Structure 1
Amino acid sequence: MSKQKDFDMNLLRVFVSVCQTGSFTKASEELDLTQSSVSNAIRRLKKALGNELFTRSGRGIEMTAFGKHFFEAVEPSVMSLVNTIGRDDRFEPLTSSRNFIVYALESVLPRLQIRLRELLKGSNITVTLKELPSNEEETFDALMREKVDLVLDVMKPHQSSLKSVIVSEDAACCIVRIGHPRIFGEITHEQYFNEDHAFLNMRRVKQTITEFLAKEVLPKRTMGSEHTSMLGMMACVAQSDFVGVNSVRLVSQYKEQFKLQMLPLPFSTRTTSIHMIWSIKSQSNSANQWLRELIIAAERD
């Protein structure tokens, strides 16, 4: 590095933002700078360090080996400083008025909405729950740009700019309508694969929920219908002889309304962990800390 006393520490904040967002454009929006200012800052940092920091990759950028090493070295200190400066100690849950936005899985939304209504009764604080976008990049981009306060997802983030904690667990179950002509009380392996199925697609992983959660490679099933909504699939199963796989959490809440049998699956599946995710920039923010504690309390009960 050239003369240390002349080094502009502001360059590190720009560099960390570019690394976290993976884009000069998104970094400029996050920092409220022009894109040319961001590009110029990265050029100055590259010159000061004497090494390439990024390379072009398709339409985006990737960190070089040196850039990644440097990012891992400086990010904790830079973000600690950002969090300290941005800390909001004026938030008081008993007196503050605030609306938080949380992205959540479809399986999580209904029960969480009920619990939050109970916990926030008489408060000036509201929490708006929105269904998780199907695009993972869109979800985490919203967190980084502070368009959303928290995310509840089955996917644990790998970005160093995000933090997470498991707040609850869910599992899969088999559903058929009450009055199904061949299935009552239980379903065998043979019965399961002989029936027509309502498929529930998980768009982000390009698999059905069954394929995603099964611990083994399953025989081919016959598709009777195809869905991206858990509740939509439950409604279809309720009006047909199709077999479906759905969330224990959601089916437990709606099986009476849809007149469904909730049965154990005749093969092994993984449980799913629900991860609460937030931006590292919000780590020390008192309002976000309070919201995280609220969600944990709502999910624990």
Structure 2
Amino acid sequence: MSDAFANKLPALDLNLLRVFCTVCQQSSITRAAEQLGLTQSSVSNAISRLKNTLGCELFIRVGRGIEPTATGLHIFNTVQPMLDTIEQTLMGVKAFDPSTSRRVFTIYANEAVIDLLQPQLDTALANLSVRVVLRNSPVLEAEQFQDLQMQKVDLVVDIMPPKLKMFSFKKVAQERIICVVRQHHPVIKNHVSSDDFFAAEHVMYRLHRDNMRVADIISNDPLPQRTLYSEQSSILSMLSLISKSNAIGIAPYTFTQSYAQLFKLTLLELPFKTRPINLYSIWPTKHALDKSCIWLREIIEKLMHDAYGSS
């Protein structure tokens, strides 16, 4: 390290490192500015100042975005864990009282989870000032985690655990999948055989997760081709169609049983080996010690346990 370089470091504005790390995470000046609540020009100026102070290139343009250079990546991998530790420490000290706080938390979840959680959440928060808003998860997994990283959402409940270390997760429930037919079905009564199952027309539910179908997740073995009657992105729409036709479907048990009487449906065990679907709560690792986020995770974990039973 040159004497000139060493003399610059005492004057380094540490806020520049926070801006730099956010740009690294977002691969975009625009998205980084949005997350930090700054203008794009302020973020660009901060990166230029850090570049001039360190005397090296920090980013290169790749396609429509930017990526850190080898030096920039080294700085990010060294500095970001330190910033996370500082943020966790400060969040752990900050007090949080749900009875007086007027904070509004946002949670992403799928249709079935929202339907089961909302009534319990209303009861749990009845005497508190804090609010929790449940929203349908984005179709694209990448968008879901980007919103979590940018703090547009506080918690995610999903069927897939995250792969990146910047997110932490905990299994909070387990759901089994059953076969659904209308009452007084002409062929299928109190039991569905493998032959009857695959001979029937199917209303298929496409998950809001990389366009997967439920059967793609729960089956231990590849399933034979099924005859498509209709494809739905809403479980309620799927149940409604099944109630009006001889088509059958696959659905989550806990959610579907609450609508079985309304739609006049019969719930049956599937005629092939399946595995349950796990449900996970997911949050940014850097918020692990944030008392408000700890409160949110704990209340959602309890409500999920109450809705789905022991997981």
Give the TM-score, by structure 1 length. Answer: 0.88
CA deviations on 1:60-86 (whole Å, 9 max, x unpaired) are: 334455544543332221122234445
- Which residue in the other structure is 1:22 paired with? 27
Aligned to 2:219: 214
SS at match of 1:107: helix
Unpaired runs of 5+ residues, structure 2, are 307-311
Residue 298 of structure 1 is matched in structure 2 by: 303
| Cross-structure match for 1:254 | 259
The counterpart of 2:180, out of the listed 175, 184, 187, is 175
- Tell whether 2:65 aligns with 1:60: yes
Structure 1 range deviating more: 103-112 or 1-10: 1-10
Quick check: 229-238 or 58-67, which moved more? 58-67
The more displaced of 82-91 and 266-275 is: 82-91
In 1, the alpha carbon distance for the partners of 2:77 and 2:24 equals 10
Q: Using the alignment, how far apart are the partners of 2:75 and 2:163 within structure 1?
A: 18
**Distance of 1:91 and 1:97 partners within structure 2:** 10
Aligned counterparts, 1:1-301, within 5 A: 2-3=5-6, 4-45=9-50, 53-64=58-69, 67-85=72-90, 89-301=94-306
| CA deviation after TM superposition for structure 1 residue 168, in Å | 1.0
What is the distance in 1 between the residues matched to 2:160 and 2:56? 34
- What is the alpha-carbon distance in structure 2 between the residues aligned to residue 189 and residue 56 of structure 1? 55
Percent pairwise identity: 39
Contact 1:20-1:161 at 8 Å conserved across structures: no
- What is the CA deviation profile of residues 174-201 of structure 1, one whole-angstrom value per residue up to 9, with x for unaligned ones? 1111111111122122111111010111
Distance 1:139 1:28 in 2: 19
SS in 1 for 2:254: helix
Offset from partner CA, 1:121-149 (integer Å, 9 cap, x none):
33333322122222323322332333322
- State how far apart, in whole Å, the 2-side matches of 1:63 and 1:169 are: 40
Query: Which AA in structure 1 matches 2:209?
Result: R
Question: Is the 8 Å Cα contact of residues 20 and 159 (structure 1) preserved in structure 2?
Answer: no
SS for the counterpart of 1:108 is: helix
Distance of 1:244 and 1:61 partners within structure 2: 45
Query: Could you tell me whether the CA contact under 8 Å between 2:99 and 2:127 is conserved in 1?
Result: no
Matches of 2:69 and 2:264, distance apart in 1: 56
Amino acid in structure 1 at the alignment position of 2:148: L
Q: 3-state DSSP class of the match of 1:290?
A: helix
2:309 maps to which residue? none
154-163 vs 194-203, which moves further: 154-163
Where in structure 1 are there 5+ consecutive unaligned residues? Answer: none
Question: Per-residue deviation at 1:232?
Answer: 0.8
Cα gap change, 1:46 to 1:271, in 2 (>3 Å): farther
Contact 1:21/1:144 (<8 A) preserved: no
SS at match of 2:186: coil
Matched position secondary structure for 1:133:
coil
The number of equivalent residue pairs is 301
Farther-moved stretch of structure 1 (88-97 vs 123-132): 88-97
